[in-house]
Amino acid sequence: MPSSESDASMEQEEEEKGKHNEDEEDSDAHMDPKEEDDEEDDDEEEQEELQIKWVPLSKRPEWADIQPVSQDDGPYPVVPILYTAQFRETMDYFRAILALDERSPRALLLTEEAIRLNAGNYTVWHFRKLVLQALSYDLWEELKFIERIAKANYKNYQIWHHRRWTAENIGPAAMTTELQFTEEAFLKDAKNYHAWSHRQWVLRTYGGWEEELAFCDKLLHQDIYNNSAWNQRYFVIKNSPFLGGVGAMREHELNYCRDAIAVDSANESPWRYLKGLYKGDDEALPRSTTVPAIVLIELQKNKDCIYALDLLLELLCLGYEPSQELIGALGLQLDSCSAFQIATFVCTHLKEIDTMRMLYWDWRLNALSNASTS
């Protein structure tokens, strides 16, 4: 795995980003289980606060009856820093109540302390669920607890899983708070994979579709390069009970793509989204008048626009007959070109300008020749 791992929890960060949003931090849920997060500053603040207030469990009367269970770590010494000492003692008491299976109010408080120290420890979260069930705890209060923990840990798998479990147990009444919770997460990172996944679950399970297309639009206005928001937009037009499906929305969405592409034709997301509008209905693509118009506009601005050339190639392969204007935009002679010659020209040109993927375009070129001879 990495596999497995990959799984493991993917958390770690990939921080960031690309060329376009340099001032924000973006991290991605990727799959590394380390669950760290980007928001280290917050983390540190929180930890400092904890350390100031922390009274060792061994000094608290309510824990006097518990014999802590230490982990066997062999002969190597523990690094003597305060945080580690606190961490260790808390976990020693946690192991003790876990072994006793003590589902009590003080156990709930202890899981909170342990989670604050390490929100990635899935065993603590599991035990907390058992305690919540045993105490018939108010789950709306639990949502608030998660919000406090999440502030420093928006990329942690366990938090989102626990959030989902809590919201599931509350039922449809949780719809609004859950949509809001993801919006809080997007303020820190509008590409947070867990948050988008949670939001899709809320929509599918409890509804809230009415405003979702507008929500996508708002996020795309904030960052037109946000591929997660583009993906959500596709999710909405495909699944919303109010919009009629991808086919019904196609023309509307083509215009949306056109405007996004006009901002920056090197933005991969709207071009892929545009092609996605024809997923499973390839034959409709060469019949469109809007699509070639978008290609023409962009090629007239920049004849080296990779995504426009790629889309033109796709159109030609599907039997589209290019207009003279489009041929002219490529810099070709008007009269002497067959569709095959134009496609060959486009492909050869792509190979020259997108050198990183030269062998991909080479393959497309070969595929063209093979198609023409067969």
Partner 1 sequence: MGELTITKHVEYIKSLDKRKDLETALTEHLRMSGAYWGLTSMDLMGHLSEMDKEAIMVWLFKCQHDSGGFSGNVDHDPHILYTLSAVQILALYDELDAIDKEKVAAYISGLQQEDGSFAGDEWGEVDTRFSYCAICCLSLLKRLDKINIRKAVEYIASCKNFDGGFGCNPGGESHAGQIFCCVGALAIAGALDLVDKDLLGWWLCERQVPSGGLNGRPEKLPDVCYSWWVLSSLVMIDRVHWINKDKLKQFILDCQDKEHGGISDRPEDAVDVFHTYFGVAGLSLLEYEGLRPIDPAYALPVDVVDRIFYS
Check binding of 26 to partner 1 (CB under 8 A).
Answer: yes
Query: Residue 359 CB, nearest distance to partner 1 (Å)?
Result: 5
- State the binding string over 312-351 for partner 1 (x if CB under 8 A, else -): ----------------------------------------
Query: Residue 320 CB, nearest distance to partner 1 (Å)?
Result: 19
Q: Of the candidates 163, 213, 276, 342, which one interacts with partner 1 according to CB under 8 A?
A: 276
DSSP 67: -
CA nearest neighbour of 239 among 277, 219, 209, 215: 209
Beta carbons within 10 angstroms of residue 303's beta carbon: 14
Q: Of the candidates 104, 169, 197, 323, which one interacts with partner 1 according to CB under 8 A?
A: 197
Q: Nearer Cβ to partner 1, position 13 or 329?
A: 13
Catalytic residue among 53, 151, 155, 188: 155
Tell me the CA distances in angstroms from 262 to 20, 28, 224, 266, 363, one per residue in order: 16, 27, 11, 10, 29
Are the CB atoms for 315 and 292 separated by under 8 Å? yes
Q: Of the candidates 63, 87, 137, 345, which one interacts with partner 1 according to CB under 8 A?
A: 87
Are the CB atoms for 350 and 310 separated by under 8 Å? yes
Q: Of the candidates 156, 182, 265, 269, which one interacts with partner 1 according to CB under 8 A?
A: 269
The token pair at 3 is 């596999």
Total residues contacting partner 1 by CB under 8 A comes to 83
Q: Phi/psi zone of residue 102: left (φ > 0), alpha (ψ -120 to 50 degrees), beta?
A: beta
Query: Residue 188 CB, nearest distance to partner 1 (Å)?
Result: 16
How far apart are alpha carbons 106 and 62 in whole angstroms?
8
Q: Nearer Cβ to partner 1, position 95 or 303?
A: 95
Of 191-199, 206-214, 250-258, 286-294, which part binds partner 1 (CB under 8 A)? 191-199
Q: Nearer Cβ to partner 1, position 66 or 329?
A: 66
Query: Residue 337 CB, nearest distance to partner 1 (Å)?
Result: 25
Residues numbered 98 to 127 that lie near partner 1 (CB under 8 A) are 98, 118, 120-123, 126
Catalytic residue at 144?
no
The token pair at 65 is 């009856």
H/E element, 11: strand 11-13
Give the CA dihedral 246, 252, 257, 260, nearest 10 degrees.
-140
Query: Residue 133 CB, nearest distance to partner 1 (Å)?
Result: 12
Q: Of the candidates 106, 151, 164, 258, which one interacts with partner 1 according to CB under 8 A?
A: 164
Are the CB atoms for 159 and 150 separated by under 8 Å? yes
DSSP 32: E
What is the SS3 assignment for 31? strand
Q: Nearer Cβ to partner 1, position 78 or 248?
A: 78
Q: Could you give the residue numbers annotated as active site?
A: 155
